[in-house]
C-alpha cells in the first residue's frame, strides 16, 4: 500500500513540475506579447513614415518632371513669340510713331 502511495506522490510531484513549467512558458508568452505591444506603435509609425516618404518622393519627382516640361514649353512659347514679334516689329513701330503724331493731329 505504501508503494502505491509513494508512486502517487511521485506522480503528483512530477505533475506539479509540468504545470509549473507550463505556467513559466505562459508567463514568457505574456512578456513577449507585452514587448510586442510596446513596440507596435513605433513600428507602425516607422513603417508609415517609410511609405509616406516614398510617396512624397514620388509625388515630388513627378511634379518636378511636369514642372520641367511646363517651363520648357514656356521657353518654346517665349521663343515663338519673339520670332513672331520680329516679323511684325516694323509695322508696330510705324503704328507707334503714327500714334505719337496723332497727338499733334489737326487743331480743333
Partner 1 sequence: MSAFSPADQIEKAIIDEAKAQAKKIVEDAEVAARQLTEEALENAQSNLAGWAARRKQMAQGTGDRILGKARNDAHMRVMNAKAAMINEAFQQARKQFEKERESAQYKTFLKNLITNAGIQIGGGDIVVLVRKEDQPIILKITGLGTAISKQAGQTTKVSVGKQAIDAIGGVMVQNKEGNITVDYRVETLLTQVDVKYRNAIAKILFPIEVKTEKPRE
Q: Which of residues 57-76 bind partner 1 (CB under 8 A)?
A: 59-60, 62-64, 66-68, 70-71, 73-75
Output the smallest distance, CB 53 to partner 1, in A. 9
**Sign of the four-CA dihedral 95, 100, 104, 108:** positive
Told to check if 50 binds partner 1 by CB under 8 A, we report no
Rounded to whole angstroms, what are the CA distances from 58 to 52, 63, 66, 69?
10, 8, 12, 17
- SS3 category, 107: coil
Residues 64/65/70/74 CA torsion (nearest 10 deg): 90
Q: How far is the CB of 72 from partner 1 (least distance, A)?
A: 9
* Site mask for partner 1 (CB under 8 A), range 77-106, x = bound: xxxxxx-xxx-xx-xxx-xxx-xxx-xxxx
Number of chain positions touching partner 1 (CB under 8 A): 74
Span 22-41, contacts to partner 1 by CB under 8 A: 22-23, 25-27, 29-30, 32-34, 36-37, 40-41
What is the rounded CA–CA span in Å between residue 71 and residue 89? 26
What's the min distance (Å) between Cβ of 40 and partner 1? 4
Amino acid at each position: 500500500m505504501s508503494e502505491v502511495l509513494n508512486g502517487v506522490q511521485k506522480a503528483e510531484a512530477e505533475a506539479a513540475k509540468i504545470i509549473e513549467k507550463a505556467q513559466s512558458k505562459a508567463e514568457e508568452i505574456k512578456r513577449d506579447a507585452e514587448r510586442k505591444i510596446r513596440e507596435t506603435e513605433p513600428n507602425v509609425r516607422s513603417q508609415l513614415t517609410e511609405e509616406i516618404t516614398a510617396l512624397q518622393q514620388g509625388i515630388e519627382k513627378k511634379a518636378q518632371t511636369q514642372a520641367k516640361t511646363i517651363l520648357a514649353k514656356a521657353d518654346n512659347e517665349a521663343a515663338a513669340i519673339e520670332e513672331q514679334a520680329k516679323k511684325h516689329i516694323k509695322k508696330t513701330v510705324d503704328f507707334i510713331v503714327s500714334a505719337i503724331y496723332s497727338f499733334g493731329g489737326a487743331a480743333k
